[in-house]
Structure 1
Amino acid sequence: MIHRHEKEFPVLETKRLVLREITTDDAHDIFKYLSDKEVMKYYGLLPFRTNQEAINEIEWYKKIYDAKTGIRWGITMKNIDAVIGSCGFLNWSQEHFRTEIGAELSKAYWRKGIMSEAFQAIIRYGFNQMELMRIQGLIEPPNTSSQKLAEKNGFIREGLLRKYEYAAGKFDDLYMYSLLKDDDL
């Protein structure tokens, strides 16, 4: 059996996108959208103010991949290698065949179906290559665009987790969404 850290980072292609590993060379691109307060509104962190914060974020992506607790892809448009967002899985529990999904996208690319396209690719990867049974999403109630994205991609709202997370100086309620491998999509 090949251990995951010995394998190359999986690159996923869709009609318009290439989802690839994010490296420190991408720090400037990531800083651009993670410093935008609208993009960061529901991210759980304050908008970035320095390039070092972007580098720290990239190091976290590498850390969760190496520890096999998650994977985060950079979203790029085909033929343009700039990272315009990211998506992936965190809090991966291999023992329980489940993970959480997360994503963000530069505001210039909102409402173009890009995140749905990326979600479909990583969901397929999760169910087929990671052998997941359950993918869950935790979404703040005011974040209606993420709720619509989840529902459009087959996720079901299971309930409200009250004061579930402390982020950016406040306690947040979160809706729990889930998609199961055996759900009819």
Structure 2
Amino acid sequence: MSFFTEIQTERLRLRKLKHTDWEAISYLRSDPDVNKFVKRASADTQEKALAFIEKIRQATETNSSLYWVITKQGQNQMIGSICLWNFSQDRKKAEVGYDLHPLTQGKGIMNEALKAIINFGFNTLNLNRIEAYTQNNNTASINLLKRNNFKLVIGKQDADNLENAVYELKQP
């Protein structure tokens, strides 16, 4: 049984990823601006985007990752994504990840999506901690995390990317 649940907020609908989202996935995972602070595999072809979508579908089915497509209410166009993944063995900690189309940044969209996912993580999944790994120079992401009460974890490093800082939010 999948823990995935569609989530509605005042302005947003967080829904399941579909194969028809491949063009948005390709853009979000390949655009230099979107990926300026992220080290991840590109999805610069339809084939790579569809392979990523299939990987996410399988991860969601097995609850190893929960991935939401961010859309505006009443629209189906993917404008970004947010996920909980990298769960601890006891399922009490998860990592949050997110991206957003540049044309929709600076409008509070990711703040609204993040609040909904924090609520879902703590109140539905019963997590006691959510971590976020963000590049040291990504001030927009750092400000978003601080606005949502994430605290810098002093001394913790991301072994995969030493340019990342680690933030965490503990269940209130």
Normalising to structure 2: TM-score of the pair? 0.92
Asked if 1:158 corresponds to 2:148, the answer is no
Give the corresponding residue for 1:16: 11
Q: Secondary structure at the match of 1:172?
A: coil
Runs of 4+ in 1 over 3 A off after TM superposition: 160-163
* d(CA) in 2 for partners of 1:69, 1:46: 19
Asked if 1:64 corresponds to 2:59, the answer is yes
Q: Secondary structure at the match of 2:79?
A: strand
Greater share of strand residues, 1 or 2? 1
Give the corresponding residue for 2:33: 38
1:64 CA drift (Å): 1.9
Structure 2: which 5+ residue stretches go unaligned?
A: none
Q: Are residues 127 and 83 of structure 1, via their aligned partners in 2, closer, same or farther at CA, if it must alter by over 3 Å?
A: same
* d(CA) in 2 for partners of 1:121, 1:63: 23
Contact between 1:28 and 1:54, CA under 8 Å: does it hold in 2? yes
1:142 CA drift (Å): 1.3
Give the corresponding residue for 1:180: 170
Map 1:16-165 onto structure 2 (within 5 A).
16-45=11-40, 47-93=42-88, 95-162=90-157, 164-165=159-160
Q: Would you say how many aligned residue pairs link Structure 1 and Structure 2?
A: 172
Tell me how large the CA RMSD over aligned residues is. 1.7
* d(CA) in 2 for partners of 1:121, 1:61: 20
- Please tell me the residue identity of whatever aligns with 1:86: S
Percent identity over paired residues:
30
Q: Secondary structure at the match of 1:31?
A: helix
1:94 CA drift (Å): 5.3
